[in-house]
Amino acid sequence: MLYALKIATRYLTASKAQTALLVLGVAVGVFIFIFMSALIGGLAEFILSRTVGDISHVTIEAEATDPAVLISPQGHVLAVVERGRTRTATLTEAETFLPLIAAVPGVTAVSPQITGAGFLTRGAQVSQVSVTGVEPGLESAILDLDGYMVQGSARLGAGIVVLGRTLADDLALSVGQTLRLQSSTGVTAVLTLGGIYQTGTGGMDRARAFVSLSTARTLFAMPQGVTRIEIKLRDLNAADATARRISALTGLDAVPWTDGAEQLMEALDAQAQTGYFLKTFALITIVIGVASALLLSTYRRRPEIGIMRAMGAGRGFVVFVFVTQGALVGLMGGLSGAALGYLALLPFPSRDAFEPGTLPMDITQGSYGLAITLTVIGAILASILPARSAARVDPVTAIGQ
């Protein structure tokens, strides 16, 4: 079928301006496809990184045990041990599980933590805070504390506390000054402010205090174990599967970030659906463009098709000539559109450097191969109708035109 390819190529090059316009039309469709892919993909990436990028992807929390109840032989409740209001359940064997969890594929960080409530006091000023005790060296394992520091260091050590900017401002604190932290268990410690962070999230900057794990043990009278284990994954979307795997491995209740994030997932899904619609419309435009141009070409070349048929060209040959034209237009338009799309996306910041006020375009999510493949397939499908129409041309009528 080399000869059919030659005829198809000659037909396309014979009307250069018309072919160029047709290829340009296809290229614009492919450009839109790629632009939308990069935008929708980048937007999803941006939203995810802003919403769940700094939180634990899988969390293990100790399950609270039911309060003890003393029941008489007659079935009356004689006594109930009230559930502690300040003490959460403890993962006493956390140390055993940490290496196992860290070895699970896709896990990038494991952070054992002790969390609880407390009061920060400086002079007459008192603020209620949520205290998180983190292993020194793992300060930025889950939340990128280092990246949010505006003053001092995120490094936690004995007697060091790191606070959010709003809280530090409320208490008129600066790095190096001391303050008192009283935990909900009643233990008080005098701490030095080692650093101030600003995440831009109100609750985090106003009411969260980070201390070292050993300081937290003292504050919450917990000589061993932790209250929770936070786990970061390489792939956010693998959270459900990884949580199931960790649960199976440890017997602990591992909860993925997607639990309770249904609304976010629905919003992302709706956004992805919108992208599919827009891309489908772009493909339909390509198909209609190619089909109409080739139908016009078929009509214009009817006498030639008649001559070819008279000279011994079969219907299959004629079909192949026109389908090949469609495929070539699709390929040229696809490649041009993909190149244009790539060039247009180059000036946008990379996915790791999205900034507020810019379009979160992700050049790596342009779906270039998919765009080219779908365009060629679409163009081939679009050319089938004109090609069949050409093959049905009656040589006698066509030659007489």
Rule CB under 8 A: which residues touch other proteins?
1-4, 6, 10-11, 14, 303-304, 306-315, 317, 395-396, 399
Dist. CA 71–CA 78, nearest whole Å: 5
Partners of 99 in the β-ladder? none
Residue 318 C-beta: closest distance to other proteins, Å: 10
Q: Where on the phi/psi map is residue 306: left (φ > 0), alpha (ψ -120 to 50), or beta?
A: alpha
Closest to other proteins by CB, 229 vs 305, is 305
Closest to other proteins by CB, 134 vs 321, is 321
Dist. CA 221–CA 88, nearest whole Å: 12
Per-residue burial over 169-191, b if 16 or more Cβ lie within 10 Å, else e, is ebbebebeeebebbbbbeeebeb
Residue 4 C-beta: closest distance to other proteins, Å: 8
* Residue 9: half-sphere exposure toward Cβ, Cα within 13 Å: 6
Residue 387 C-beta: closest distance to other proteins, Å: 16
Residue 283 C-beta: closest distance to other proteins, Å: 31
Rg for the chain, CA atoms, rounded: 33
What is the secondary structure of 289-323 as a DSSP string? HHHHHHHHHHHHTHHHHHHHHHTT--HHHHHHHHH
Closest to other proteins by CB, 127 vs 298, is 298
Closest to other proteins by CB, 160 vs 391, is 391
**Phi, psi (5° rounding) for residue 69?**
-130, 135
Closest to other proteins by CB, 123 vs 400, is 400
Closest to other proteins by CB, 165 vs 309, is 309
Closest to other proteins by CB, 280 vs 397, is 397
Residue 15 C-beta: closest distance to other proteins, Å: 9
Residue 22 C-beta: closest distance to other proteins, Å: 17
Closest to other proteins by CB, 217 vs 315, is 315
Closest to other proteins by CB, 4 vs 226, is 4
For residue 336, give the nearest of 16, 15, 18, 25 by alpha carbon. 25
Dist. CA 370–CA 384, nearest whole Å: 21
Residue 313 C-beta: closest distance to other proteins, Å: 5
Three-state DSSP class for residue 152: strand
For residue 235, give the nearest of 50, 53, 103 by alpha carbon. 53
Residue 267 C-beta: closest distance to other proteins, Å: 55
What tokens were used for 93?
């064997």
Helix 368-391 with 315-345: angle, nearest 10 deg: 150
Residue 223, Cβ neighbours under 10 Å: how many?
Answer: 7
Query: Residue 134: in which H helix or E strand, if any?
Result: strand 125-134
Q: 3-state secondary structure string, 17-52?
A: HHHHHHHHHHHHHHHHHHHHHHHHHHHHHHHHHHHC
Residue 10 C-beta: closest distance to other proteins, Å: 5
**Phi, psi (5° rounding) for residue 24?**
-60, -45
Dist. CA 193–CA 179, nearest whole Å: 7
Residue 388 C-beta: closest distance to other proteins, Å: 14
Dist. CA 64–CA 92, nearest whole Å: 12
Closest to other proteins by CB, 183 vs 297, is 297
